[in-house]
Amino acid sequence: MRRPVIAGNWKMYKLVNESVEYVQAFKALVVQSIHCDIVIAPTFTALKAVCSKLEGSNIAVSSQDVAAEPGFGAFTGEVSAEMVRDAGAGYAILGHSERRQYYGETDGSVNRKLLSAMGAGLVPIVCVGESLTERDSGQAQTVVERQLSGSLANLTPERASRIIIAYEPVWAIGTGRTATPEIAQQMHAFIRSRLKAMFGEEVAQSVRILYGGSVKPENITSLMDELDIDGALVGGSSLDPVSFSNIVNYRDRR
């Protein structure tokens, strides 16, 4: 049995005081939610304050990126995985489509970031997913396969078993257009088959694969009913504590 993960990506939203107010309200709403791992990803500037407020709670914290370079060095503007860990976070979102689209992230850079994150003891949440043009031209699986083999290069099976994958079709992110549970399940099963080819059956069965793309309280339950959907990476609907707690508590909505 894979333990579900519900993760919220706040993107470039919320000042420090707003982030702290959010987690104070959110903590109470999910205090009894022991059925899944709960993760929130604030901005870098709010990481430390949010981690301090969540110490000892059932909510973990993620960064939205890390530097490819490990440790310390002359890399102006970058924040290393060690620094994220030092702030108290346990996870790092890597290769989000917005970073691939606007900041030149490639499978090669995602791979370097992945190795740095794991070296610092962070659990990477590696994002993959095709654009609408790629889907419409029948390239969805080819694209995701290429992203997986590039982003997950040089990983031992032992390390691979600890990562989390997020399948986020670009056409569903922030568009209000969710993939149907069937479309998502089909790609999740494909991703698991690729993990099996790369790392073996045991690893493939243990890696959690999250769906991301316009997940809301109204559609989370049908997505979670699918065999290979092990959780969600949520953008817009994670910005409000009540809405996000309704997603975390998806089992109450049955």
| DSSP H/E element including 84 | helix 81-87
Work out whether 212 is an interface residue with ligand PEP (CB under 6 A).
yes
Among 9, 33, 62, 63, binds ligand PEP (CB under 6 A): 9
Work out whether 214 is an interface residue with ligand PEP (CB under 6 A).
yes
218 is catalytic: no
35 is catalytic: no
Give least dist CB 97 to ligand PEP, A.
8
| DSSP H/E element including 194 | helix 181-199
Q: Which residues contact 4 (CB under 8 A, 6 or more apart)?
A: 35, 36, 37, 208, 224, 230, 231
State which residue, 1 or 102, has the beta carbon closest to ligand PEP. 102
Among 197, 188, 131, 138, residue whose Cα is nearest residue 165: 188
The answer to whether the CB of 70 falls within 8 A of the CB of 85 is no
- Which member of 96, 105, 130, 134 is catalytic? 96
- Which member of 82, 98, 134, 168 is catalytic? 168
Residue corresponding to tokens 């997913």: 129
| Piece of the chain touching ligand PEP by CB under 6 A; list 45-53, 55-63, 81-89, 213-221 | 213-221
Sites of contact with ligand PEP (CB under 6 A): 9, 11, 168, 173-174, 212-215, 233-237
